C-alpha cells in the first residue's frame, strides 16, 4: 500500500481486514492491539466467505446493508464474544446528552427446562428497543409514545469491554424514533459523511479523478484533561455533582511552575496513562501522543486519526476508559471544560480532513500543479463554508462548560476565524489580487506551474490562539470543549463544506464546458470565493483586544455565551443547508435546539443549587466556628473582619437562593429561561463565590471544609 494511502486511512480497519497504519507499538503491544475488536480480520476468519465479502462491501463503500447477512454475522459475533467471556451484549448509542448510553441484555435465554441457551440472532444484532423514554428528544417524542430504536452500525466495529467480573459485547448503533427521526448524534454524522462524499466525488471528477469511489472525512482529536487525587474529589460536592469547582481561591502567586508543560510526567500519572493506552489498544483505539499540558495537573492525549464515524465512536470510548482507569490509581479524570477558575481550561482539538478511499488526502498541498489546483479548490471550499456558517460552527460547540472557556476574560475568544499560515495566506492573497505569476515568481509561478511552494508537512508557522487553523494537511478546529462528543461539530463541518464544494464545483463545471483549461477556469472562481470570504482569515493574536474590535469591524460574529450561539442551530442558512443535504430536518434541528437549551438551564440550576448548599452548610458554618474561636481568644478585630465577610456571603447567598426559586424563573420560553440563567443566576453564583473565596483565605486552614486548589492541583 502506498504511503499516501496510509496517511488517510491510518488505523482504519481496511476492508481486507488489515489494520492500516496502526500506531508504532512494541511487539507485545501489537498482540493486544485490537484484540477485543470484532475487526474485519476476525470477521474474515469467522464468517462464511460470501457473507464476509458482502459485509466488507458495506464497510468500504458505505453501501446499504443487506439485512439477510445479519443472522450469519450475529452468530459469528456471539461465538467470538462468548469465547472471550462475554455474558451480555449492549447496543451502545449517543443520545443528545452527548454521553454514551448502553443497556445490557444477557445472551442467555431460559429454555424452560431449567437451563439457559445463548441466544443472539440477526434480529437482536440489527435492532433493539431500549426503554428510552427519558432520553431528551426536544419534543419529537412524547413519553407515552416512547418508541425509539437502536440500529446496528456495521461501519463501526463491535468490541468487548472487559470488567473484572465479566465482559460485555458492545455494538455501536444509531438511535432513531419510530417515526424515523434521528434521536442521536451518529445518524446526522453518517448522513453528513455521505453528503460530503457525494459532493467531493463530483468535484474530483472535474479534476480528472475517475478512480476514487468514496471520500471519507477524517478526525483526530487531541483531548485535554485534568487528573486529581480521588480523595479530594470526594470531598468536593461541587466536583462530584457538576464536574467543576464552584469555590476555591487561586493558589498563592509563584506556586504555578511553568515547567509543568511538556515536563516529565509524574510516575503515578504515567502508570495511569500506560494502562489507559493499553486498554484502548485492546479496543483498537490507536493512541499516539501524550504529554503534560499548560496547567498543573493537566495532560493531553491524542490518537491517530480515523474516519469521522469510527473516530467519534472511539473518542466516546476514550473518554469512558480514561475515567474508568483513573480510579485504579486513586485518581479522578476531570473532563470538564473549566474545572478550576483562573486556571487554564480543557479543550479538544478536532483535526479534520477529507481523503479518498485510495488514500489521497484532499487537503495535502502536494507538489505538482495539478495537486496544487485541487488542494486550493478544497481549501477555498473550507474557507467559504466556515465564513458562511460561522454562527452554526460556534453553536455546535456551545455548552455551559464552554462559556468559561470561550469569550471570557483571558480566554480564547468566541469569534470564529481561520489561520492559514503566512505562506498559504500569501498564495490566496495573490490569487485574489490576480497577481499570480508576476509578483512573486520565486515562491509560486502561477496556476499553470507549481502554485504553492512545496509546503512542509507541518506547514510553516503556528498560531496557538486561532480557533480554526490550517496545520499542513488538515484543519484543526480548536474550539471544542474537552467533554464534548465530536459528532455535531463534524456533522456541521462535513455538511457546510459539502455545500461550498458544490457551489464552487458548479461554477467550475460551467467554466469548463466550453473547453477552457482547468487552471484558467479555476482562477476567477478562487478569486471570487476568497474575496468574498477572506474576512474570516486572521493570522494575528486572537486573544488581543485589537482583534475583538477588528473582528467587529469585519462583521464577524462574536457569540460569547451559549444562549447567544444556540439560535444559529435553527437559523435560515442552517435549515437550508441541512435540509438540502438531507442531514437534519427542520424538526430534528429544532429538537436539538430545544434539548441543548434545556440542558443549559438544567446544568446551571444544578450548579446554583450546589453552590447555595455548599455556602450554607459548609462555608458559612466553618467561618462561624472560626469567629467563635477568635472571639474566645479575645481577637475581636480578626473576628469582626471574618464576620464582615460572612455578612457579605450571606447577603449574596440570599440573592442566589432567590434567583434559584422556581417561581422567579421565566418558564414561558426556553431561550428566555436560558438568558435568565446567564444574566441572573450566574452573576449571583459568582457573587457568592467571590466572598466565599475571600473567607477561604481568612479562616483557619484546619477548619476549612474543602480541599484547596493548591492541594488538588499540586499533589500528584
End-to-end CA distance of the chain: 45
Whichever of 190 and 469 has its CB closer to ligand ADP, that residue is: 469
Report in angstroms how near the CB of residue 456 gets to ligand ADP at its nearest: 11
Residue 225 near ligand ADP by CB under 6 A: no
Q: What are phi and psi of 440, to 5 degrees?
A: -130, 60
Q: What is the dihedral of CA 197, 203, 208, 210, to 10 degrees?
A: 30
Q: Which part of the chain contacts ligand ADP (CB under 6 A), choosing from 61-69, 95-103, 218-226, 238-246?
A: 218-226
Q: 22 or 86: whose CB is closer to ligand ADP?
A: 22
Coil, strand or helix: which one is 48? coil
* Window of 202-210, 214-222, 483-491, 598-606 that interacts with ligand ADP by CB under 6 A: 214-222
Q: In this structure, what C-alpha cell is assigned to residue 423?
A: 505562506
Say how many C-beta atoms besides its own lie within 10 A of residue 39's C-beta.
Answer: 21
Q: Choose between 219 and 383: whose C-beta lies nearer to ligand ADP.
A: 219
Residues in region 458-477 near ligand ADP by CB under 6 A: 458, 471, 473-474
219 touching ligand ADP, by CB under 6 A: yes
Q: How far is CA 432 from the centre of its chain?
A: 34
Residue placing its CB nearer to ligand ADP in the complex, 298 or 591? 298
> Binding ligand ADP by CB under 6 A: which of 153, 181, 184, 222?
222
Cβ atoms of 10 and 33 within 8 Å: the answer is: no
By CB under 6 A, tell whether 218 contacts ligand ADP: yes
Residue where the block lists cell 466565599: 692
Q: Interface with ligand ADP by CB under 6 A: which range of 100-108, 216-224, 369-377, 404-412? A: 216-224
Residue 204 or 597 with smaller CB distance to ligand ADP:
204
Spatial CB neighbours of 680, under 8 Å, sequence gap ≥ 6: 659
Burial class of 68 by CB neighbour count within 10 A (0 to 12, 13 to 18, 19+): exposed
Rounded CA-CA distance 22/13 in Å is 9
CB contact at 8 A, 472 and 170 = no
**What is the DSSP-derived secondary structure letter of residue 399?**
-
Nearer to ligand ADP, 484 or 680 (CB): 484
What is the rounded CA–CA span in Å between residue 193 and residue 204? 16
| Span near ligand ADP by CB under 6 A; candidates 74-82, 215-223, 513-521, 652-660 | 215-223
Q: Return the number of the residue (360 or 588) whose C-beta is nearest ligand ADP.
A: 360
User: 2 or 164: whose CB is closer to ligand ADP?
Assistant: 2
Give residue number: closest CB to ligand ADP: 220
Q: Quote the least distance from Cβ 10 to ligand ADP, whole Å.
A: 7
Q: Does 223 bind ligand ADP (CB under 6 A)?
A: no
CB of 13 to ligand ADP, least distance (A): 16
- Give whichever of 318 and 353 is closer to ligand ADP, judged by the CB atom: 353
101 forms beta bridges with 93
Q: Is 220 near ligand ADP (CB under 6 A)?
A: yes
- For residues 363 and 472, is the Cβ–Cβ distance under 8 A? no
* Residues whose CB is less than 8 angstroms from the CB of residue 702 and which lie 6 or more positions away in sequence, other chains included: none
Nearest approach, Cβ of residue 184 and ligand ADP (Å):
23
3-state secondary structure 295-353: CCCEEEEEECCEEHHHHHHHHHHHHHHHHHHHHHCCEEEECCCCCCCCCCCCEEEEEEE
Is residue 385 a contact point for ligand ADP (CB under 6 A)? Answer: no
User: Which one of residues 225, 247, 352, 596 is an interface residue with ligand ADP (CB under 6 A)?
Assistant: 352
562 scored as a contact of ligand ADP (CB under 6 A) = no
How is residue 93 written as a grid cell? 448509542
By the 8 A CB rule, do 90 and 104 touch?
A: yes
Task: Tell me whether residue 396 or residue 562 sits nearer to ligand ADP (CB atom).
Answer: 396
Where does residue 249 rank: exposed (0-12), middle (13-18), buried (19+ CB within 10 A)? Answer: middle
Is residue 196 at the binding interface for ligand ADP, with CB under 6 A as the rule? no
Asked if 351 is part of the footprint of ligand ADP (rule: CB under 6 A), the reply reads yes
Q: Binding pattern to ligand ADP, positions 295-334, x when CB under 6 A?
A: -------xxxx-----------------------------
- Number of chain residues interacting with ligand ADP (CB under 6 A): 16
- When the beta carbons of 150 and 307 are compared against ligand ADP, the nearer one is 307
What does the DSSP assignment read for 540-572? S-TTSHHHHHHHHHHT--B--SHHHHGGGGGSH
Residues that bind ligand ADP (CB under 6 A): 218-220, 222, 302-305, 351-353, 361, 458, 471, 473-474
Amino acid at each position: 500500500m502506498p504511503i499516501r494511502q496510509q496517511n488517510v486511512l491510518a488505523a482504519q480497519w481496511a476492508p481486507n481486514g488489515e489494520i492500516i497504519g496502526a500506531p508504532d507499538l512494541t511487539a507485545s503491544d501489537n498482540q493486544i492491539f485490537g484484540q477485543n475488536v470484532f475487526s474485519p480480520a476476525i470477521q474474515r476468519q469467522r464468517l462464511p466467505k460470501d457473507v464476509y465479502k458482502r459485509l466488507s462491501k458495506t464497510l468500504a463503500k458505505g453501501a446499504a446493508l443487506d439485512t439477510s447477512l445479519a443472522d450469519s454475522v450475529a452468530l459469528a459475533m456471539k461465538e467470538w464474544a462468548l469465547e472471550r467471556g462475554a455474558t451480555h451484549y449492549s447496543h451502545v448509542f449517543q443520545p443528545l446528552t452527548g454521553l454514551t448510553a448502553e443497556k445490557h441484555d444477557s445472551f442467555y435465554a431460559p429454555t424452560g427446562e431449567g437451563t439457559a441457551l445463548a441466544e443472539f440472532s440477526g434480529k437482536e444484532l440489527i435492532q433493539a428497543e431500549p426503554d428510552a423514554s427519558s432520553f431528551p428528544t426536544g419534543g419529537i417524542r412524547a413519553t407515552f409514545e416512547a418508541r425509539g430504536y437502536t440500529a446496528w452500525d456495521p461501519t463501526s466495529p463491535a468490541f468487548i469491554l472487559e470488567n473484572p467480573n465479566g465482559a460485555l459485547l458492545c455494538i455501536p448503533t444509531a438511535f432513531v424514533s419510530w417515526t424515523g427521526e434521528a434521536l442521536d448524534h451518529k445518524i446526522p454524522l453518517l448522513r453528513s459523511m455521505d453528503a460530503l462524499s457525494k459532493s467531493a466525488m463530483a468535484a474530483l471528477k472535474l479534476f480528472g479523478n475517475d478512480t476514487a469511489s468514496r471520500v471519507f472525512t477524517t478526525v483526530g482529536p487531541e483531548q485535554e484533561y485534568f487528573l486529581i487525587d480521588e480523595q479530594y474529589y470526594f470531598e468536593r460536592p461541587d466536583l462530584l455533582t457538576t464536574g467543576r469547582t464552584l469555590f476555591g481561591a487561586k493558589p498563592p502567586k509563584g506556586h504555578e511552575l511553568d515547567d509543568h508543560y511538556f515536563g516529565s510526567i509524574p510516575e503515578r500519572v504515567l502508570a495511569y496513562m500506560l494502562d489507559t493506552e493499553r486498554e484502548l489498544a485492546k479496543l483498537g483505539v490507536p493512541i499516539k501522543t501524550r504529554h503534560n499540558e499548560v496547567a498543573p495537573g493537566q495532560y493531553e492525549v491524542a490518537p491517530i486519526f480515523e474516519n469521522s464515524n469510527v473516530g467519534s465512536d472511539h473518542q466516546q470510548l476514550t473518554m469512558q476508559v480514561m475515567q474508568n482507569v483513573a480510579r485504579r490509581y486513586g485518581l479522578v479524570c476531570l473532563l470538564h471544560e473549566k474545572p478550576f477558575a483562573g486556571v487554564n481550561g480543557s479543550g479538544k482539538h478536532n483535526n479534520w480532513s477529507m481523503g479518498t478511499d485510495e488514500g489521497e488526502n484532499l487537503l495535502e498541498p502536494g507538489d505538482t500543479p495539478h495537486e496544487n489546483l485541487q488542494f486550493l479548490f478544497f481549501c477555498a471550499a473550507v474557507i467559504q463554508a466556515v465564513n458562511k456558517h460561522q454562527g452554526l460552527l460556534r453553536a455546535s460547540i456551545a455548552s455551559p462548560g464552554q462559556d468559561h472557556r470561550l469569550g471570557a476574560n483571558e480566554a480564547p475568544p468566541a469569534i470564529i476565524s481561520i489561520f492559514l499560515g503566512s505562506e498559504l495566506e500569501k498564495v490566496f492573497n495573490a490569487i485574489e489580487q490576480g497577481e499570480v505569476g508576476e509578483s512573486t515568481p520565486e515562491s509560486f509561478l502561477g496556476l499553470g506551474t507549481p502554485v504553492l511552494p512545496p509546503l512542509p508537512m507541518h506547514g510553516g508557522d503556528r498560531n496557538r490562539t486561532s480557533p480554526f487553523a490550517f496545520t499542513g494537511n488538515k484543519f484543526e478546529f480548536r474550539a471544542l470543549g474537552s467533554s464534548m462528543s465530536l459528532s455535531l461539530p463534524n456533522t456541521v463541518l462535513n455538511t457546510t463544506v459539502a455545500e461550498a464544494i458544490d457551489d464552487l464545483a458548479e461554477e467550475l463545471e460551467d467554466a469548463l464546458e466550453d473547453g477552457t483549461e482547468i487552471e484558467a477556469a479555476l482562477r476567477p472562481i478562487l478569486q471570487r470565493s476568497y474575496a468574498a470570504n477572506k474576512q474570516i482569515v486572521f493570522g494575528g493574536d486572537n486573544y488581543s483586544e485589537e482583534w475583538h474590535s477588528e473582528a467587529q469591524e469585519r462583521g464577524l460574529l462574536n457569540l460569547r455565551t451559549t444562549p447567544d450561539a444556540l439560535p444559529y442551530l435553527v437559523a435560515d442558512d442552517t435549515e437550508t443547508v441541512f435540509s438540502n443535504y438531507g442531514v437534519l430536518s427542520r424538526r430534528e434541528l429544532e429538537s436539538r435546539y430545544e434539548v441543548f437549551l434545556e440542558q443549559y438551564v438544567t446544568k446551571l440550576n444544578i450548579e446554583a443549587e450546589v453552590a447555595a448548599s455548599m455556602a450554607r452548610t459548609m462555608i458559612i458554618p466553618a467561618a462561624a466556628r472560626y469567629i467563635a474561636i477568635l472571639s474566645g481568644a479575645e481577637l475581636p478585630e480578626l473576628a469582626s473582619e471574618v464576620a464582615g465577610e460572612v455578612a457579605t456571603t450571606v447577603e449574596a447567598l440570599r440573592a442566589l437562593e432567590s434567583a434559584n426559586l422556581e417561581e422567579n424563573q421565566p418558564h414561558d420560553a426556553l431561550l428566555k429561561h436560558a438568558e435568565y440563567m446567564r444574566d441572573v443566576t450566574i452573576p449571583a453564583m459568582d457573587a457568592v463565590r467571590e466572598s466565599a473565596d475571600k473567607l477561604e483565605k481568612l479562616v483557619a486552614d484546619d477548619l476549612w471544609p474543602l480541599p484547596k486548589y493548591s492541594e488538588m492541583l499540586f499533589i500528584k
